[in-house]
Structure 1
Amino acid sequence: MAITAVRQLMGLPISVDLRDGTQREADMVFDWLHEVDLRFSPFRLDSEVTRLDEGRIGAEEISADLLHVLALCETYELRSGGAFKAKLPGRQLDPNAVVKGWAVQRAADLLRAAGLRRFCINAGGDVVTAGEPTDGEPWRVGIRHPDDSQRVCAVVGIRDGAVATSAAYERGNHIIDGRTGLPAFGLLSMTVYAPDLTTADATATAAFAMGIDGPEWAAQQPGCLVHAVDSNHRVFRSPELPVLS
């Protein structure tokens, strides 16, 4: 049976579209993401991230999950030449740029482990899919136009993959270039298609932080294809990106 459900979690709407699942599996996804929010949010005083940042627990006491997330943050900081940083000088530890993609990808892995083969999880526009919604048809993921929320730049068809977009149009200039400590500039939107959402989300954020050099860097990352719009409205698109329209 097909199930579609939406919840507000981690500060954004998250939808689950299961073409071969039940409400139980949908609830499993939401329960996991709620747990992640409690444990990893830098805005919660009792989260593991806040307690580590404030020195209330030591590095040797943190969970294997947080250790993994922090290792991912370090990896993308090194790959991006410091443009991506989870800990900026004078600011609290904030691994959210990795946490969301990692957590939603883990939810997809839970669904697969439960035997589901056709589903889509959409976390505020960052999407991970499995299989096809109907036989012979890919999941259709729209890339929002950076100037108009009612328009799309392109529609990507994906099966067993993920798409993530970093931009300033929803939350303002919230992505900081770790090399300067200032809001990133040069791009209006940066979309990455990858085999998994952990990779897509972290790569998109790091590339946006890098500015005009980001699209080329992202396109060179293993398994990644890109669609980017710079501040002059020029489009950079990987030729292999499965664009439907």
Structure 2
Amino acid sequence: MTHRASLVLAVLVLACQNPQNAGPPAAKSGPEVKTTEPPAKTDPHAANPHAGNPHAMGPHAGDAPGTETSRPAREAVNPHPVTPSGKTREEAVPGLNYKVPEEWTKKPGSSAMRLAEFTLPGPGGDAELAVYRFAGGGGDAKSNVHRWRTQFTKADGTPLGDSDGEVQEVSKPPLKVTLVDLTGTYVAQVTPGAAERYKDPNFRMLAAIVEGAGDPYFFKAVGPETTLAVWKPTFTTFADALTVVP
């Protein structure tokens, strides 16, 4: 036997004694592959049609039919009889001087647009008056009167019409003053664009729009009808004490 044949025979003998070395490892039943299943795709709008959409309700949601909610009617705050003394005091906002009854309590304006605020006492409970001025104007008198009418309904729930309430224009050059008197159930939005509304029966608004001194001023009092009835004469003569500050 040749030397080469002897080597081949020796390898075969060893392979028989150690079958695990006879060839490459037997293949396993399948490769072990670690995979990460991608999460199932879901429709982000399936459970909540407005999920993640900050504009779903819209900026005027409170005006959309079927989306409004109403607060319970507010309770009267500090109701007591008041007899106006007829005394007034000077008040001022930038660009305009005016007078208010001594009985009105002044508070700091609660925002940049509110130049001043007052509490008006009376038998129906406190009413609130705010003095506004909006950069750029805030709309003409006719548009604001129309908007204020939409903030009231009649006893049967129908909105005020264009002929409801009192609107009077007073000329005091260079000023034009529009006086407004509205009564009904107060249903204004709690905040602009909100779905929640007030629902205060027997409420009243006394307001004055002052034009002719740059951006118009808005004097707007809202509260129980019986309280603002006490202060109606003040608004009737409101324009008399207005003076423009150069």
Structure richer in helix, relative to its length: 1
Structure with more contact order per residue of length (Cα contacts < 8 Å, sep ≥ 6): 2
Q: Please tell me whether Structure 1 or Structure 2 has the larger radius of gyration of its CA atoms.
A: 2
Same fold? TM cut 0.5: no
